[in-house]
Amino acid sequence: MTDRRTLKRHLRKEALARRDALDPFWRVEVALEMAETAEEHIDFVPGQIVSGFWPMRSEVDVRPLMFALREKGARLCLPAILDKTTIVFRELVRGAALVEMGFGTAGPSEEAPVLDPSIMLIPLAAFDKRGHRIGYGAGYYDRAISRLTQNGHAPRLVGIAFNCQEVPEVPDETHDVILPEIITESGLRRFGS
């Protein structure tokens, strides 16, 4: 187990270094292209709930993508960190104030309703050709997805990353959530069956 965690830390560090080295202006252009990809490939019934995330550091800026989905009728929400192990998803509405969530992210305040997303846009540090993901190490998304599933929800999981974050193979751990789809600058990539 320790060897897997050590390898994950190493893969995470390398992938994030590659991501950090990307030109910031190029990242803006790619974020707009990814919004077009999402608009084309993520279908839903107007009113369905989509969780996005407030970008931190050199992550893909998914705000254009979230805006495109809102224009198609999605209700949006962002993760809110409750404690060291738990996130919930609070509704994001136009004009509502955002508050600091930690880790350089922002989200709706405690007054915003908590929603259960049917589509989740998921940040990640690294991924492989099987759809296995390495997050940032805290396990927030793995636990949130598990909780949603246990409560009878089966959200569509769509990872968001740059191609440079792909690694040869992510070591498997039992608690890991495998992503069936990831949007990169190359388009929508589907994994598994």
Binding-site residue numbers are 8-12, 59, 133-141
Where is the binding site for substrate, in residues?
A: 59
Phi–psi pair at 22, nearest 5 degrees: -65, 145
Q: Please report, in range form, the residues annotated as the binding site for ATP.
A: 8-12, 133-141
- Gyration radius (Cα) of the chain, Å: 16
Within 8 A by CB and 6+ apart from 144, the residues are 79, 86, 87, 88, 89
CA pair distance 1, 40, nearest whole angstrom: 40
Q: Angle 153-155-160 (CA atoms, 0-180°, nearest 5)?
A: 155
CA angle 43, 45, 50 (to 5 degrees): 70
The shares of helix, strand and coil residues in the chain, as percent rounded to the nearest 5, are 30, 25, 40
